[in-house]
């Protein structure tokens, strides 16, 4: 019989156990994180670091962006197939002992992004020690994960960690079968699209007069003018539309495509949305493109802003834009196979992506150096995991010392297939996806999306719902601007502003939480109103917030507005003229900083915005400093709007009383058959909008957020295109930074308010 003598064993191991407990105590008390932030979770991590939660209490606030100096790799947000190799490289570079925390549903299992470009959990490539559930997890959950990890470390008896292959190799991902294949469109939609109407209006008439030969069909639906032209002469049409003062469509809002599969002779439609700032007109121009020759002339030489939009249409649909200078994939990985938004592409079909490629700037720099007979300039890779690149953007620069000679940017490291996902989900289910577009101000995305479906129905929501949307959206705008300004200043080295910005933000979270339970991604909006009525103390809460926010804003202003160093760093940096900005498709504060007072809330007001008194701040030079000033002033103006809205908050229903859209009252469901049937139908099928296409738009925090929605009358959107404001802003970035210093890149990027979720969809 074996007798275990615990006492002697303990004595033998006395030294090692004491030593290891001391070492473990040190290790757990000094967990320096590497924040591998990509998406919404990163914002909640920032909240964890901010004053309310203060990760510093655990000794874990020493954020190191050098993987060799950090202990715990915190993966914050969705990792897609393009980002996978980067994540793996960072993990491999970390020094032992190292741990991994996977924050949020996306990092853990892909979340609800069961899509062609999203890694279904980071444990496909790196081992994970602690998983945090939630989408995104609250800061408390992050603190809990840190404590859990500390407990794990405490229980560890190893004294030293050998560098052992804890890593998993990249493997071919499986096709995810949980999402169903998509059906071709019904004939009704095709009929609707081909239907030619007699349209009145200055633009339509002028167009008919100018291009009698080109027009295929013309239609007006819910106030949207839509003209289909032949693709052969598209360039000439577009040029006239831009340059002719009669049309004057100086701003190209969006270029995208729609796939009508086999139901039509010409399979694809290339869709242009444009805006005339002088006449306040909008126009949708379409051109059909056949499947056997999916090509059309490029518009890059007409509007600079068409550059990335066309690349995206190429990436997603495989439509070739003839004459485009740099037609590469943009959102998906260069190794990706297929064009995912085509209707015959299975939504869950992933491609294994392993390499990171050089951008064209390397080749350009080499050729230039050879032709001039000079030394090859330094090629510097900035991002995607560079602290100033906010986790997901990549810039490759050819630099002479610190001066940037040439640059190229790459995006797609957070491409989460929003558009494909919305085609596979019902109208209601799309709302949480929209929250994760611009996660800094998720409320506004939901509002804009709901507006598009409401526009499709042609209904107006009750006043009370409108006011709730206005109040919470304006608060979201404030929160968004505070993060933008705060992180911009942190990038410049002024640390404290970040914490001053996050304090009031946390209070705004509390307000949102009291309404719907969500902090960051609220999902409070419903089609036809909001999810539930506001809580009883809402008005008091808002009044209190109106008093608590201004001091924080003033603090930030006091520290920076007249700060000599801040002015030195920001004045004149990436100044852009109004014309260029419009040409690139800038909107929002970035455009207003150039002196163009384009604000949808004033120009195309809805929701009683025309009755609120507020001003639109504009800058002069369009540089970093002006953008800062515009944002700070917009915060104050938003407070003004909220004040007026809360004083005039109407009573009444918070949901539209339309049985096509909103659920019947519970009382009715339990007592009469009509409501019961209605409830059943809505729950089973969701809402079924009429056949049609609309473009709805709103002034989101960083510019015009637009949703182009095509409905075939079924329960899922046939096509939902998101026009993210920062997509058009960021494409100008590599042109703006040429000739500047490395430090200016950092200052400029922060000032543009690029949110990866919206940029890369």
Binding mask 339-378 for another protein (x = CB under 8 A): ---------------------------------------x
- What token pair was written down for 532? 């539930």
CA–CA dist 339, 296 (Å, integer)? 17
Which run of H or E residues covers position 72?
strand 72-76
Judged by CB under 8 A, the number of residues near another protein is 60
Choices 317-325, 443-451, 645-653, 739-747; region in contact with another protein by CB under 8 A:
739-747
- The footprint of another protein on residues 566-605 (CB under 8 A) is 566, 568-569
In the set 128, 206, 352, 380, which binds another protein (CB under 8 A)? 380
Residue whose C-alpha is closest to residue 438's, from 17, 40, 22: 40
The answer to whether 175 contacts another protein (rule: CB under 8 A) is no
Residue 725 CB, shortest distance to another protein, in Å, is: 24
- What token pair was written down for 280? 């306040």
In the set 66, 175, 181, 188, which binds another protein (CB under 8 A)? 66
Of 675 and 744, which CB lies nearer to another protein in the complex structure?
744
Binding mask 538-567 for another protein (x = CB under 8 A): ---------------------x---x-xx-
Helix count (H) and strand count (E) of the chain? 28, 19
Residue 102 CB, shortest distance to another protein, in Å, is: 22
Residue 59 CB, shortest distance to another protein, in Å, is: 5
Q: At what angle do helices 463-492 and 538-560 cross, to 10 degrees?
A: 30
CA–CA dist 286, 264 (Å, integer)? 15
Binding mask 1-30 for another protein (x = CB under 8 A): ---------------------xx-xxx-xx
Q: Identify the sign of the CA torsion 509, 514, 515, 521.
A: positive
Whether 54 and 143 have beta carbons less than 8 Å apart is answered as: no
- What token pair was written down for 34? 């590497």
CA–CA dist 394, 78 (Å, integer)? 17
In the set 112, 211, 428, 499, which binds another protein (CB under 8 A)? 499
In the set 12, 61, 205, 370, which binds another protein (CB under 8 A)? 61
Choices 48-56, 116-124, 542-550, 618-626; region in contact with another protein by CB under 8 A:
48-56
Of 161 and 680, which CB lies nearer to another protein in the complex structure?
161
Q: Identify the sign of the CA torsion 331, 333, 339, 342.
A: negative
- What token pair was written down for 500? 């001053």
Choices 117-125, 236-244, 499-507, 627-635; region in contact with another protein by CB under 8 A:
499-507
CA–CA dist 695, 59 (Å, integer)? 49
Counting Cα atoms < 13 Å in the Cβ hemisphere of 387 gives: 16
Choices 53-61, 311-319, 369-377, 469-477; region in contact with another protein by CB under 8 A:
53-61
The answer to whether 44 contacts another protein (rule: CB under 8 A) is no
Whether 630 and 618 have beta carbons less than 8 Å apart is answered as: yes
Of 112 and 499, which CB lies nearer to another protein in the complex structure?
499
517 CB contacts (<8 Å, ≥6 apart)? none
12 CB contacts (<8 Å, ≥6 apart)? none
CA–CA dist 410, 329 (Å, integer)? 10
Choices 81-89, 108-116, 721-729, 736-744; region in contact with another protein by CB under 8 A:
736-744
Of 22 and 181, which CB lies nearer to another protein in the complex structure?
22
Residue 35 CB, shortest distance to another protein, in Å, is: 12
In the set 503, 636, 640, 735, which binds another protein (CB under 8 A)? 503
What DSSP character marks residue 175? P
Choices 35-43, 92-100, 125-133, 456-464; region in contact with another protein by CB under 8 A:
92-100
Q: Where are the alpha helices (DSSP H) in 436-562?
A: 442-457, 463-492, 496-516, 538-560
In the set 158, 163, 322, 328, which binds another protein (CB under 8 A)? 163
CA–CA dist 641, 452 (Å, integer)? 23
CA–CA dist 96, 516 (Å, integer)? 43
Of 97 and 186, which CB lies nearer to another protein in the complex structure?
97
Of 607 and 628, which CB lies nearer to another protein in the complex structure?
628
Residue 66 CB, shortest distance to another protein, in Å, is: 4
Q: Is 574 left (phi over 0), alpha (psi -120 to 50) or beta?
A: left
The answer to whether 500 contacts another protein (rule: CB under 8 A) is yes
Of 552 and 612, which CB lies nearer to another protein in the complex structure?
552
The answer to whether 741 contacts another protein (rule: CB under 8 A) is yes
Q: 709 pairs with which residues across the strands? A: 694, 720
The answer to whether 68 contacts another protein (rule: CB under 8 A) is yes
Q: Counting Cβ atoms within 10 Å, is residue 246 exposed (0-12), middle (13-18) or buried (19+)? A: middle
In the set 11, 16, 56, 280, which binds another protein (CB under 8 A)? 56
CA–CA dist 752, 726 (Å, integer)? 8
In the set 103, 490, 534, 709, which binds another protein (CB under 8 A)? 490
Whether 404 and 734 have beta carbons less than 8 Å apart is answered as: no
The answer to whether 129 contacts another protein (rule: CB under 8 A) is no
Of 50 and 256, which CB lies nearer to another protein in the complex structure?
50
The answer to whether 738 contacts another protein (rule: CB under 8 A) is no
In the set 17, 21, 157, 161, which binds another protein (CB under 8 A)? 161
In the set 85, 127, 323, 387, which binds another protein (CB under 8 A)? 387
Of 201 and 551, which CB lies nearer to another protein in the complex structure?
551
In the set 54, 246, 580, 658, which binds another protein (CB under 8 A)? 54
Which H, E and C letters describe 12-58, residue by residue?
Answer: HCHHHHHHHHHHHHHHHHCCCEEEEECCHHHHHHHHHHCCCCCHHHH
Of 159 and 677, which CB lies nearer to another protein in the complex structure?
159
Residue 160 CB, shortest distance to another protein, in Å, is: 7
Which run of H or E residues covers position 8?
helix 6-12
CA–CA dist 349, 346 (Å, integer)? 6
3-state helix, strand, coil in the chain (%, to 5): 45, 15, 40
Of 564 and 667, which CB lies nearer to another protein in the complex structure?
564
Q: 409 pairs with which residues across the strands? A: 395
- What token pair was written down for 297? 């002339």
CA–CA dist 451, 246 (Å, integer)? 30
In the set 51, 357, 671, 672, which binds another protein (CB under 8 A)? 51
Of 100 and 447, which CB lies nearer to another protein in the complex structure?
100
In the set 175, 181, 495, 683, which binds another protein (CB under 8 A)? 495
Residues at the site binding another protein, with contacts judged by CB under 8 A: 22-23, 25-27, 29-30, 50-51, 54, 56-59, 61-62, 64-66, 68-69, 71, 93, 95-97, 160-161, 163, 378, 380-381, 386-388, 401-402, 489-496, 498-500, 503, 559, 563, 565-566, 568-569, 741-744, 746
């Amino acid at each position: 019989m074996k007798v275990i003598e615990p006492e002697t064993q303990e004595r033998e191991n006395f030294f090692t156990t004491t030593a290891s407990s001391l070492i473990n105590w040190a290790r757990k008390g000094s967990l320096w994180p590497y924040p591998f932030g990509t998406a919404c979770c990163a914002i909640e991590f920032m909240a964890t670091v901010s004053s309310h939660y203060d990760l510093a209490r655990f000794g874990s606030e020493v954020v190191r962006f050098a993987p060799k100096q950090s202990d715990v790799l915190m993966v914050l947000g969705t990792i897609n197939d393009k980002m996978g190799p980067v994540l793996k490289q960072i993990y491999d570079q970390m020094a032992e002992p190292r741990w991994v925390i996977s924050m949020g549903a996306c990092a853990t299992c892909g979340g609800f992004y069961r899509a062609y470009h999203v890694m279904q959990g980071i444990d496909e490539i790196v081992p994970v020690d602690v998983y945090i559930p939630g989408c995104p997890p609250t800061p408390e959950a992050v603190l809990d994960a840190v404590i859990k990890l500390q407990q794990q470390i405490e229980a560890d008896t190893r004294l030293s960690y050998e560098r052992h292959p804890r890593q998993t190799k990249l493997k071919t991902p499986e096709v995810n079968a949980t999402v169903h294949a998509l059906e071709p469109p019904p004939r009704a939609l095709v009929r609707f699209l081909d239907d030619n109407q007699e349209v009145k209006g200055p633009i339509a008439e002028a167009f008919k007069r100018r291009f009698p030969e080109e027009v295929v069909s013309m239609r007006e639906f819910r106030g949207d003018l839509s003209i289909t032209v032949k693709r052969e002469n598209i360039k000439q049409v577009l040029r006239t539309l831009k340059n002719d003062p009669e049309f004057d469509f100086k701003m190209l809002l969006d270029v995208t495509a729609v796939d009508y599969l086999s139901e039509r002779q010409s399979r694809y439609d290339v869709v242009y949305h444009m805006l005339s700032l002088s006449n306040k007109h909008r126009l949708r121009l379409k051109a059909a493109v056949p499947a056997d020759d999916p090509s059309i002339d490029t518009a890059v030489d007409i509007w600079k802003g068409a550059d990335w939009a066309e690349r995206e249409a190429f990436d997603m649909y495989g439509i070739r834009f003839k004459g485009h200078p740099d037609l590469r994939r943009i959102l998906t990985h260069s190794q990706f196979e297929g064009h995912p938004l085509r209707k015959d592409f299975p939504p869950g079909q992933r491609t294994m992506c392993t390499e990171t490629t050089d951008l064209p700037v390397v080749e350009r720099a080499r050729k230039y150096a050879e032709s001039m007979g000079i030394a090859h300039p330094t090629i510097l890779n900035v991002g995607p995991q560079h602290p100033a690149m906010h986790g997901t953007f990549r810039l490759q620069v050819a630099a002479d010392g610190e001066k940037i000679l040439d640059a190229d940017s790459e995006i797609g490291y957070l491409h989460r297939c929003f558009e494909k996902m919305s085609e596979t989900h019902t109208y209601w289910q799309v709302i949480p996806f929209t929250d994760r577009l611009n996660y800094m101000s998720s409320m506004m995305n939901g509002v804009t999306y709901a507006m598009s479906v409401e526009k499709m129905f042609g209904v107006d929501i009750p006043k009370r719902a409108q006011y709730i949307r206005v109040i919470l959206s304006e608060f979201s705008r404030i929160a968004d601007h505070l993060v933008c300004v705060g992180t911009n200043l942190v990038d410049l080295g002024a640390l404290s502003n970040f914490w001053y910005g996050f304090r009031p933000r946390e209070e705004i979270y509390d307000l949102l939480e009291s309404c719907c339970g969500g902090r960051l991604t609220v999902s409070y909006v419903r089609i036809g109103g909001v999810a539930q009525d506001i809580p009883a103390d809402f008005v008091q809460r808002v009044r209190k917030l109106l008093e608590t926010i201004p001091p924080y804003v003033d603090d930030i202003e006091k520290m920076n507005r007249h700060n000599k160093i801040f002015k030195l760093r920001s004045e004149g940096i990436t100044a852009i003229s109004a014309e260029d900005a419009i040409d690139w498709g800038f909107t929002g504060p970035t455009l207003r900083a150039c002196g163009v007072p384009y604000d949808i809330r004033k120009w195309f007001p809805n929701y009683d915005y025309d009755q609120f008194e507020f001003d639109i701040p504009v800058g002069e030079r369009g540089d970093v400093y002006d953008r800062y000033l515009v944002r700070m002033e917009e915060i104050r103006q938003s407070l003004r709007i909220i004040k007026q809205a809360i004083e005039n908050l109407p009573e009444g229903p918070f949901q539209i009383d339309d049985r096509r859209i909103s659920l019947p009252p519970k009382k009715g469901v339990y007592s009469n058959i009509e409501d019961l049937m209605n409830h059943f139908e809505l729950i089973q099928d969701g809402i079924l909008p009429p056949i049609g296409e609309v473009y709805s738009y709103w002034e989101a925090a960083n510019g015009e957020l637009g949703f182009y929605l095509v409905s075939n009358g079924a329960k899922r959107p046939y096509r939902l295109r998101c026009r993210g404001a920062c997509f058009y802003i960021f494409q100008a970035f590599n042109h703006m930074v040429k000739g500047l210093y490395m430090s200016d890149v950092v200052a400029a990027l922060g000032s543009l308010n690029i949110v990866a979720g919206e940029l890369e969809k």
